[in-house]
Chains A and B, each alone.
Chain A
Amino acid sequence: MRVTVDSEKCQGHNRCFALAPELFDVDDYGTAVVIGDGSVPAELEEKARLAVANCPEFAIGIEE
């Protein structure tokens, strides 16, 4: 599994960073970026789905 952030849609609500800091980081402007290449280890898949389910701008994508 891999996560992505669409930087055009992201408005910096920081929900992803709060729920899955292992997968997402935020820059000085509050915009989210994926950590590394966005690969999600099996034990973090649940957290990745949680981040998707809580992004108000639908900016996070998951590739299975």
Chain B
Amino acid sequence: MTDIYGPVTDWQDDFDHAVPEYNERAHEIWAEFQASGCPVAHSDRYGGLWAPFTHELVHEIAYDTDHFTSQGVVVNTGRPLIEAPVGPAPPITSDPPFHNIARRLLLPPFSPKVIAAWEPEVRRLCRDLLDRMGEITPGESVVDAAIQYAQSIPVNVIARMLGFPTEDEELFRGFVHDVLERINEPVEVRMEFMQRLDDYLTAQIEEHRENPRDDLTSYLLGVEIEGQKLSIEHVRGSIVLLLVAGIDTTWSAIGSSIWHLGTHPDDLRRLVDEPEVMLFALEEFLRAYAPVTMARLVKDDHDFHGCPMKANDWVLLPFPAANRDPAQFDRATDFIIDRQENRHGAFGLGIHRCLGSNLARLELKVAVEEFVARFPSFAVDGDVTWSVGQIRGPRRLPVRVDSVA
């Protein structure tokens, strides 16, 4: 891989979230920015990048669709070719007024009641993955909770929803990795792997046109905006979005939650002894370990609280940092398993609120419940590695199993 930028020497003026150190030390880096006089980082990398770290500023930008466009939401070396208000992957890359039209098409299949019906399926999948870990010797066996468990859950669920072959699991993870983690590679390289993804999806869409069935791909091919079927670009863009938004995000949330329990035995015991606490624990996992940082592009040159922003600069929206801002949350850096007041923004704030949040919550809840039910006592044991880029979560998570239920 060719990283065109190299290591960061100064977080304030040469910021880069795609160096491995960033996600490893994220909590420290955010706290430093929040305590410093200037909570906004800048960098000339990626053609200009800003990163504010307080809840107040993140909130302000998330609501300000006049000065910031969603046309690009993943910082990288290039700039999106399809313009707002539609953008390459509607509705996440869309701006008002088109955003709401594209979003409303996708809301019903992700509504709380439709998603709740998936629970037995998700539970079966989790149990199956636990079974496949084979013979466990308590106190000795080490399993990788990221590789053998977390990473397989969301990819299987979304592949089934879209009606894609679940055997292509590895391929989907590869696509998502290319889009989200290989952000500092030359534009030509990025164009090549985006083309591979497009080609795969075009073939799937063709196959669904010939054999329509009860899945999201057929649904997208059938719906209309003002009497018109969606363009192939819109259908493909929305599928790219569901794949990219649905996989690494949730896998990261599951992994970080298991990491927390494997390093905080008191919280693990509480969850085992009092499963009802999950109602609050789920939200605290999401607050304290929110996996998703989004981005915007600056629409026109303007001054943002003293920062001279230029048209087409990237701006990161680190919801995970906002969730740990002491100006917004009591004991912001502590994990309080039954936190009663929790207005976290893990799923974003404003009009782009995560459309998959009901599914993500279901997957996270069931995955943690099933893991803890099978392994009531476990501890992180070995080297953990973290993802790079806007989605933060463990990619290797060795866990020693100390008891099996």
Contact = CB atoms under 8 A, between A and B. Distances in A.
Interface of A: 11-15, 17-19, 26-30, 50, 53-58
B279 A12 contact: no
A12 B361 CA distance: 13
Name which of B107, B113, B341, B343 has the most chain A CB atoms within 10 A of its CB: B343
A56 B112 contact: no
Contacts of A19: 279
Contact of A29 (B111, B345, B351): B111
B343 A56 contact: yes
A29 B340 contact: no
Nearest to A29: B107
B111 A13 contact: no
B341 A54 contact: yes
Nearest to A57: B349
B110 interface: yes
Interface string B379-398: 00000000000000000000
Contacts of A26: 111-113
B270 interface: no
A38 B282 CA distance: 27
B186 to A, nearest CB: 37
Contacts of B20: none
Given A19-B279, A54-B283, A54-B343, A29 B353 contact: no
Contacts of A50: 340
B369 to A, nearest CB: 15
A30 B107 contact: yes
A30 B342 contact: no
A14 B343 contact: no
A13 B340 contact: no
Interface residues of B, number: 23
Contacts of A17: 112
B112 A11 contact: no
B331 interface: no
Contacts of B107: 12, 28-30
Interface in B84-123: 104, 107-108, 110-113
A55 B350 CA distance: 12
Given A26-B111, A28-B111, A29-B104, A12 B353 contact: yes
Contacts of B113: 26
A14 B279 contact: no
Contacts of B108: 28-29
A58 to B, nearest CB: 8
B340 A11 contact: no
B347 interface: yes
A27 B111 CA distance: 8
A30 B343 contact: no
B341 A11 contact: no
A44 to B, nearest CB: 16
A7 to B, nearest CB: 13
Contacts of A29: 104, 107-108, 111
B322 to A, nearest CB: 11
B340 A56 contact: no
B357 interface: yes
* List of 9 A-B pairs having minimum Cβ-Cβ separation, nearest first: A53-B341, A11-B353, A29-B107, A56-B343, A28-B108, A30-B111, A28-B111, A14-B112, A26-B112
A55 B353 contact: no
Contacts of A15: 283
B111 A53 contact: no
Nearest to B109: A28
A11 B343 contact: no
